């Protein structure tokens, strides 16, 4: 799979969030503020994983349809990836 610039930029933003959280910890900021930022980072990671899985699924299904193959297993694998990630 090819990872486009949009997906890479999402990861870079998450990286920046995590660095910001580490800085907050080093500065001794409040627990609730740190946890809030960690939660936001987790949400961003979850959404990025969803984008990657869905993009890959679309590509795989399109290829399978062109080749006359059944796509059920591809969809099951994508769902399992998302379920296991939680």
Q: Could you list the pLDDT tens digit for every one of the 86 residues in the chain?
A: 789 999 999 999 999 999 999 999 999 999 999 999 999 999 999 999 999 988 888 888 888 889 988 888 888 888 888 888 76
Our CA dihedral for 23, 28, 31, 37, rounded to 10 degrees, sits at -10
- Give the C-alpha distances (Å, rounded to integers) separating 38 from 19, 25, 35: 11, 11, 5
Which pLDDT score, from 0 to 100, does residue 78 have?
87
Residue 40 near residue 24 (C-beta atoms within 8 A): no
Q: Which residues, 6+ apart, have CB-to-CB distance to 48 below 8 Å?
A: 7, 10, 11, 14
Q: Which domains does the chain have, with CATH numbers?
A: 5-84 (1.20.58.1000)
Euclidean distance between CA atoms 72 and 54, whole angstroms:
14
């Amino acid at each position: 799979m090819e990872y486009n610039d949009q997906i890479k930029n999402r990861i870079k933003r998450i990286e920046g969030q995590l660095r910001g959280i580490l800085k907050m910890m080093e500065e001794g900021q409040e627990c609730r503020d740190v946890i809030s930022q960690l939660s936001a980072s987790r949400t961003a990671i979850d959404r990025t994983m969803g984008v990657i899985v869905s993009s890959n699924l679309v590509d795989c299904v399109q290829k399978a349809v062109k080749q006359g193959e059944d796509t059920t297993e591809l969809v099951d694998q994508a769902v399992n990836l998302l379920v296991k990630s939680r």
